[in-house]
Amino acid sequence: MSTPPHAPRRPASAPNLSTPEIISQRIDEELRKEAALLKERKRKEVKVLLLGQAESGKSTLQKHFQLLYAQGTLDSERPSWRPAVYFNIIKAVRMILAELDFEFASRTPGNEFTTDDIVQDLSNVRTALLPLVAMEDALASEINGGVSIPGGRSGAYVRSGWQTMLDQKASLKLPETATVAAQTLSRVANEIKLLWKHPTVQHYIEERKIRVEESAEFFLDQIHRITQPDYMPTTDDILRVRLRTLGVIEHNFSVLMGGTSYNWRLFDVGGARGQRQAWVPYFDDAISIIFLAPISAFDQYLEEDTKINRIDDSLQLFTAICSNKIFEKVHLVLMLNKTDLLRQKLAADVKIKRYITSYGNRPNTYEAAASYFRQHFTHAHKKNTTESSRHLYLHFTSMLDTQTIQRIISDVGEGILQKHVSQVGLI
């Protein structure tokens, strides 16, 4: 190969850039740069796990993070929540009808809530609603992208990237089954209202014979708004939607603190018992755990094991987290969540001691209950903390109180960041 006439000539004294030593120096330099970049990235990366049993409010808390730090992404995801709202309503209608069937089958004469006329009226409403109820599984399957939950459990859930999948498929347009569901819902909106407001249904709700999911009441009360053809979920709707999380979903936020932009990596996990083994690979190098325990759940049992009281399960899980060596130095935040529902239940005179005998003769008030649950969780932490310096940051929360929860997120965030900054020096 000949040198082109105008190519600059290497002076005789200049080093030969292709000697093995130079190549090796260059590789070293590249590796150093890469390591420095990695270190810098790690320095700005804050890894937080959201843990707790199913329905404890982890995904709802994640939405609040999103609302605070990445409002734009929540806005762009808005359309993909529409099928989920429909799904929540259809499921509630199905649960109400199933319970009515059961109650009517065993009705006794003279009961003012189950007269022949009432049974006939509600049976007509039922007939009108059957086509809607029949769509539940197909809608769940569409939301799930056709993948079913291991173990054959039905229902709708979200997994990593689900919104992108829906967005790519349909952008603002509703997917096929959801479109039919929207039309059917508009057609039977009056019947849903009739059913929901019916004194017999309200009576069974009060008597706690009909138990719908916690967000159902909110959606059913607003059925006419939701069944409008141009309905788009509000932020409140998104916060209320119930969809199980499947596996572990990572959410990234850029958070500006003290003039530096940190990359928050928030891991939201599926909380049901069968899902918990999927958490383990994410335990390494987590700087913080936010553990959610719904203290309103004292009268509820696990869906996956109906013998186990949900508060017991939360305590057991929290104990396991506290005693795990890998979390000895973690910044541990405990949110005793759903305080609004706890207040509601106590106002309706649901007795804690009926479900938790050790509650004894303590007053059935919010203050006494909150202090009792706090004591149990702090005790579990203290008993299972070998690293004496690990502190427990405890908050009573309601995810419906957006203003307060956002202030708590800011406070919790600062604490987590301080911990992070004190540890990055070790990297």
Ligand X SMILES: Nc1nc2c(ncn2[C@@H]2O[C@H](COP(=O)(O)OP(=O)(O)OP(=O)(O)O)[C@@H](O)[C@H]2O)c(=O)[nH]1
**What are the binding residues?**
55-60, 239-245, 337-340
Residue 300, binding choice from Mg ion, ligand X, none, Cβ under 5 to 8 Å by partner class? none
Residues in the chain, total: 427
DSSP 305-366: -TTSBHHHHHHHHHHHHHH-GGGTTSEEEEEEE-HHHHHHHHHTT--GGGT-GGGTTS-SSH
How many angstroms separate the CA atoms of 320 and 325, rounded?
Answer: 10
Residues annotated as binding site for Mg(2+)? Answer: 59, 245
Site membership for Mg ion, residue 275 (CB under 5 A):
no
- Quick one: which segment of 52-60, 77-85, 146-154, 356-364 binds Mg ion (CB under 5 A)? 52-60
Site membership for Mg ion, residue 300 (CB under 5 A):
no
Residue 400, binding choice from Mg ion, ligand X, none, Cβ under 5 to 8 Å by partner class? ligand X
Residue 91, binding choice from Mg ion, ligand X, none, Cβ under 5 to 8 Å by partner class? none
Q: In this complex, which beta carbon is closest to Mg ion, that of residue 250 or of residue 414?
A: 250
Q: In this complex, which beta carbon is closest to ligand X, that of residue 80 or of residue 200?
A: 80
Give me the residue whose beta carbon is nearest to ligand X: 271
In contact, 184 and 132? CB cutoff 8 Å:
yes
How many angstroms separate the CA atoms of 25 and 348, rounded?
Answer: 75
- Quick one: which segment of 50-58, 115-123, 329-337, 413-421 binds Mg ion (CB under 5 A)? 50-58
Q: What is the C-alpha radius of gyration for the chain, rounded to an integer number of angstroms?
A: 27
Three-class secondary structure of residue 289 per DSSP: strand
C-alpha to C-alpha distances, 371 to 87, 359, 375, 395, 409, nearest whole angstrom: 37, 11, 6, 12, 22
Site membership for Mg ion, residue 88 (CB under 5 A):
no
Residue 341, binding choice from ligand X, Mg ion, none, Cβ under 5 to 8 Å by partner class? ligand X
301 DSSP assignment: B
Q: In this complex, which beta carbon is closest to Mg ion, that of residue 82 or of residue 251?
A: 251
Distance of closest approach, residue 271 Cβ to Mg ion, in angstroms:
7
Distance of closest approach, residue 55 Cβ to Mg ion, in angstroms:
8
How many angstroms separate the CA atoms of 125 and 199, rounded?
Answer: 14
Residue 217, binding choice from ligand X, Mg ion, none, Cβ under 5 to 8 Å by partner class? none
Half-sphere exposure of 336 (CA within 13 A, CB side): 24
Q: In this complex, which beta carbon is closest to ligand X, that of residue 60 or of residue 177?
A: 60
How many angstroms separate the CA atoms of 411 and 256, rounded?
Answer: 14
Distance of closest approach, residue 339 Cβ to ligand X, in angstroms:
7
Q: In this complex, which beta carbon is closest to Mg ion, that of residue 132 or of residue 399?
A: 399
Distance of closest approach, residue 37 Cβ to ligand X, in angstroms:
34
Residue 56, binding choice from ligand X, Mg ion, none, Cβ under 5 to 8 Å by partner class? ligand X
Q: Which region holds residue 276: left if phi is over 0, alpha if psi is between -120 and 50, else beta?
A: alpha
**Residue with token string 């008030």:** 365
Site membership for Mg ion, residue 59 (CB under 5 A):
yes
In contact, 333 and 290? CB cutoff 8 Å:
yes
* Chain residues that interact with ligand X, rule: CB under 6 A: 52, 54-60, 214-215, 239-240, 242, 244-245, 270-272, 337-338, 340-341, 398-400
Q: In this complex, which beta carbon is closest to ligand X, that of residue 170 or of residue 341?
A: 341
Q: In this complex, which beta carbon is closest to ligand X, that of residue 114 or of residue 337?
A: 337
Residue 239, binding choice from Mg ion, ligand X, none, Cβ under 5 to 8 Å by partner class? ligand X
Cα-Cα-Cα-Cα dihedral of 339, 343, 344, 345, to 10°? Answer: 100
Q: How many CB atoms lie within 10 A of CB 254?
A: 11
Residues of this chain that bind Mg ion (CB under 5 A): 58-59, 245
